[in-house]
Structure 1
């Protein structure tokens, strides 16, 4: 497994952990820069809340529905929530990777929220 396995994949399954240790996997978009994998998500999402409590994560290559094929690259890592500047940088990386898909999702949501972007960037190191 290399960071580039995740960077090349369109989706990765981000597994976070509840306080009781139960794992929860969610398919997300991710982009890499340097030795860090970046994810961008809503600030009020459960994965953000779980990462605040426990930064341990598992990242696995998956499809849009979160299905993982046998032998898919997977790795344990440490996640940290990014500040406003870090989130902005992560958003730019993801916009560069997903181009029109990202804008198709982000632009209408921004209009609906009157310009507010209540999102949080997540940095994952392995």
Structure 2
């Protein structure tokens, strides 16, 4: 069974979100964890953000950077964080992934005019 501690050691996890028709869409996302909580980011126009607005239920599995699963998926839910809650998450992502989330992702989001969204990931107890 995959735990939050196991996922916290990963650089990338495979996040599966549910569509309206009930099918699942898998997307690799960078993850950080602190104090027993895991977090990831997206942008407002992304498909996963739109799906999370309708269905906060997710499945998460460890994976490679390209999205190939390396372990079993576990059920969970994602909660959108407020701007105040997201501030430490921004710093944690930039510290763990300095090039990608410290420079590239924020610059791309600003250039495209996207709003960066941060989510808290909670796993369901087994």
- Tell whether the structures are fold-level matches, with TM greater than 0.5: yes
Contact 2:15 2:59 in 1 (8 A): yes
Distance across 1 between alignment mates of 2:109 and 2:50:
22
Offset, 1:16: 0.4
Structure 1 unaligned residues grouped into runs of 5+: none
2:12 corresponds to which residue? Answer: 11
Distance across 1 between alignment mates of 2:16 and 2:109:
27
Structure 1 segment 1-126 matched on structure 2, within 5 A: 1-69=2-70, 72-106=71-105, 108-109=107-108, 112-113=111-112, 118-126=115-123
Contact 1:31 1:37 in 2 (8 A): yes
CA offset digits 1:55-83 (Å, max 9, x no partner): 110110001111113xx153211111112
User: Under a length normalisation based on structure 1, what TM-score does the superposition of the two structures give?
Assistant: 0.85
Tell me how large the CA RMSD over aligned residues is: 1.8
